[in-house]
Every structure is written in C-alpha cells, then in structure tokens.
Amino acid sequence: MPPGQLVTKLGCDRQGHTALIRSITPVRTDLLQTVATIFPIEPIEPRDLLFGILNVPLPIPTSNNDPAPPLTLASDSSYNDEIAASALGFVAQVVNLVSAYLGDAPGYPIICQGSRSLIKDPISAMMGPRMYADACCYLEAC
C-alpha cells in the first residue's frame, strides 16, 4: 500500500476510534452509576470519618501511626474481623467491576470470594506465598 493511502487509512481509523470512545463514555457512566447504586459508600459516623459500604463499616486506622486498621473497636463490640473482611470483600467486588468497566486491570489482580477475597502479588520478587486475603486476620498461604 502506498504511503499516501496509509496516511489516509490512519486518519480514518483515528476518527473511528474517537467516535467509538465518545459512544462508549455514556455507557461507562451508566455502568459506574449502577455500581455506585448497588454498592453505596456513605458516612456512618461523620464525626469519626467512618464510612461504610452497604452499611457495613469500612476499617480505618485509629491513629496516624497505625500501619493498618484495627480488627476490633473498643467503642463498638459489634465491630470485629468478620465485619471488616465483609466490607473489604465488597470493596474488592467494586474494584473489579469498575476496573472492568473502565477497561483497566488493577496492577494486583483481585480474586473475589466475598469476605475471603484475595489480592495476588505477581510483581514483587519475594519468596513464599504471593496471595493476600483482604483482611489482615486471614493472611495465610493460598
């Protein structure tokens, strides 16, 4: 194919790509709004900045120096590691759906299994288990 025809074909392909992106954007927006409706993330206790997904409290660190959120709260005996795992399982599902709808896979693949969801680590060079549960109490070899 002569260079002139290649340039013309490339221009047509770019216009087609641009038109396709414009037609996909409203569909993606609708899908993302549906995910936000199915899995609402809303404040549970605004003064403590405590949010929840589907009214299940999301874990938050209790101080700036905490490396991870606590699995139990002294102020709330109903909050435990199972509730934290459930909330993080919902978050794992949301991340998988949003990444699929945006066409961009997460760097660390997420395997959704409810409160036993896993995050796979194919990047680091460490030896040993390379999959991590979504709650620190379930860190075990998979």
pLDDT for residue 42: 93
* Residue 118 predicted with pLDDT over 90: no
| Tens digit of each residue's pLDDT (9 = 90 or more) over 1-13 | 788 788 888 888 8
pLDDT for residue 67: 65
d(CA 54, CA 13): 43
pTM: 0.72
Element (H, E) at 78: none
Query: What is the Cα 13 distance to its own chain's centre?
Result: 33
* Residue 134 predicted with pLDDT over 70: no
| Tens digit of each residue's pLDDT (9 = 90 or more) over 18-74 | 998 899 999 999 999 999 999 999 998 777 778 899 989 888 777 777 766 666 666
* Residue 128 predicted with pLDDT over 70: no
d(CA 90, CA 111): 12
Percent of residues, the chain, with pLDDT higher than 70: 78
> What residue type is 1 in one-letter code?
M
d(CA 74, CA 120): 32
pLDDT for residue 10: 83
d(CA 14, CA 20): 10
Contacts 24+ apart (CB under 8 A), 74-83: 81/135, 81/137, 81/138, 82/115, 83/56, 83/57
Cα–Cα distance list, 135 to 86, 114, 140 (Å): 9, 11, 10
Residue range 87-99: mean pLDDT, rounded: 93
Element (H, E) at 43: strand 41-45
Q: Average pLDDT of the chain?
A: 80
pLDDT for residue 41: 94
Cβ atoms of 46 and 98 closer than 8 Å = no
Position with higher pLDDT, 133 vs 119? 119
Domain ranges of the chain: 1-33, 39-138
